[in-house]
């Protein structure tokens, strides 16, 4: 799933940052959660981080429906409903609401309907007053096979259509299926679908700006290019974003052949470049705009994104939650929001931020699929 972001080089795949010859670990070793470690996480003044739920296994994508919080688990293939029934900031109710769904990952709600996506299938069901799901019905059953990227995400746009992110099936290659490395769009019944945007290697995290309704997403750069940034893209209908021929600001990937009938340089000149970049191989996994009312006013309309963390880089990149500042509907800066999961001089870590959702009380929740936890970020002036 990986990719990395940061300052791009001169267009060639370099080795900078992909070391390890000095004995440093390419993959920081996992350490367990402890109260002391959580207390050492770094957040802006006035914010605090606590553990909302633990022992969840492969906790991936999050979604909120009323006071309920849902988490998908591709392995074992189920969806859990969590609830904090006594208001102490910790989930004390845990119910399995969907099962037997291998690689279930994306989840979205519209009114009383829930949509889930696995590698090949989009399901629809209804949600009752207790937060339970009805029997799920497949509405799309032929999404492309995933290969390297079998985990899909799903969202519902302001136009009340489904948007499904389908990653590439490889790190750097020309795809045989035009629906791979895209975001697809379909009506709510899934009866038809079109390619909304292409050239997106693996845009797991995407969301619509609450004021402009415009779609923004973070794409994972090519693993085998040491200097390929992860990208924040303004995703518009019909646009091509460059992969596999280009990375970063229209830089040419030397690993793949020319597109049919043209050169990579000419093709890349016609693609849409990223608006902002993150450090290479930081692996953006979820993105959500803040729509709550418990954070300071200047956070509304900003986005948060999880950076799952590198597996092939020294020093490691990612392993944090970032804030993407927006002004007048446009992103202007990326800055750390929750950091400190990498410890022991980069040799270890105790969390890989994964899913994101804004809870009904305005808290920001993010999951960690390494230690099987969900964290809760709150603000108190």
Task: Identify the band that residue 24 occupies on the pLDDT scale cut at 50, 70 and 90.
Answer: low
Q: Nearest CA to 322 among 370, 361, 283?
A: 283
Give a yes or no: residue 72 inside a domain.
Answer: yes
331-348 confidence digits (pLDDT tens): 999 999 999 999 999 999
What is the mean pLDDT of the segment spanning 320-324?
Answer: 99
Give a yes or no: residue 13 inside a domain.
Answer: no
What is the mean pLDDT of the segment spanning 9-36?
Answer: 62
Give a yes or no: residue 104 inside a domain.
Answer: yes
Give a yes or no: residue 212 inside a domain.
Answer: yes
Boundaries of domain holding 322: 29-379
CATH number at residue 304: 2.120.10.30
Task: Identify the band that residue 72 occupies on the pLDDT scale cut at 50, 70 and 90.
Answer: very high
* pLDDT averaged over every residue in the chain: 94
What is the mean pLDDT of the segment spanning 299-315?
Answer: 95
Is the pLDDT confidence value at 12 over 60? no
Give a yes or no: residue 16 inside a domain.
Answer: no
Give a yes or no: residue 11 inside a domain.
Answer: no
Give a yes or no: residue 12 inside a domain.
Answer: no
Is the pLDDT confidence value at 19 over 70? no
* The total number of structural domains that make up the chain: 1
263-292 confidence digits (pLDDT tens): 999 999 999 999 999 999 999 999 999 999
At residue 22, the pLDDT reads 47
Residue 269: φ, ψ to 5° = -65, -20
207-225 confidence digits (pLDDT tens): 999 999 999 999 999 999 9
Give a yes or no: residue 6 inside a domain.
Answer: no
């Amino acid at each position: 799933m990986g990719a990395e972001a940061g300052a791009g080089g001169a267009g060639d795949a370099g080795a900078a940052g992909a070391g390890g010859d000095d004995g440093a670990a390419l993959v920081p070793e996992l350490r367990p959660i402890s109260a002391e470690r959580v207390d050492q996480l770094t957040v802006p003044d006035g914010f605090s981080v606590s553990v909302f739920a633990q022992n969840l296994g492969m906790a991936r994508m999050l979604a909120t429906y009323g006071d309920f919080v849902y988490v998908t688990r591709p392995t074992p293939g189920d969806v859990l409903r969590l609830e904090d029934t006594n208001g102490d900031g910790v989930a004390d109710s845990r119910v399995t609401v969907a099962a037997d769904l291998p690689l279930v990952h994306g989840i979205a709600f519209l009114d009383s309907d829930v949509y889930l996506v696995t590698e090949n299938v989009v399901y629809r069901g209804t949600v009752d007053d207790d937060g339970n799901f009805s029997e799920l019905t497949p509405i799309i059953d032929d999404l492309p096979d995933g290969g390297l990227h079998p985990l899909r995400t799903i969202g519902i746009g302001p136009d009340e259509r489904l948007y499904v992110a389908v990653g590439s099936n490889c790190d750097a290659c020309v795809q045989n299926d035009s629906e791979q490395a895209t975001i697809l769009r379909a009506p709510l019944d899934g009866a038809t679908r079109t390619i909304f945007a292409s050239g997106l290697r693996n845009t797991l995290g995407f969301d619509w700006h609450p004021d402009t309704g415009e779609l923004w997403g973070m794409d994972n750069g090519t693993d085998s290019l040491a200097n390929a940034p992860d990208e924040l893209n303004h995703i518009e209908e019909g646009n091509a974003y460059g992969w596999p021929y280009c990375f970063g600001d229209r830089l040419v990937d030397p690993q793949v052949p020319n597109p049919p009938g043209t050169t990579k340089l000419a093709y890349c000149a016609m693609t849409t470049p990223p608006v902002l970049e993150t450090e290479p191989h930081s692996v953006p996994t979820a993105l959500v705009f803040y729509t709550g009312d418990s954070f300071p006013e200047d956070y509304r309309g900003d986005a948060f994104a999880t950076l799952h963390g590198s597996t092939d880089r020294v020093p490691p990149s990612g392993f944090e939650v970032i804030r993407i500042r927006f002004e007048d509907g446009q992103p202007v800066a990326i800055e750390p929001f929750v950091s400190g999961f990498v410890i022991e001089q980069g040799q270890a870590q105790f969390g890989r931020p994964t899913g994101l959702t804004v809870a009904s009380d305005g808290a920001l929740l993010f999951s960690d699929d390494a230690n099987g936890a969900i964290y809760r970020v709150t603000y108190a002036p």
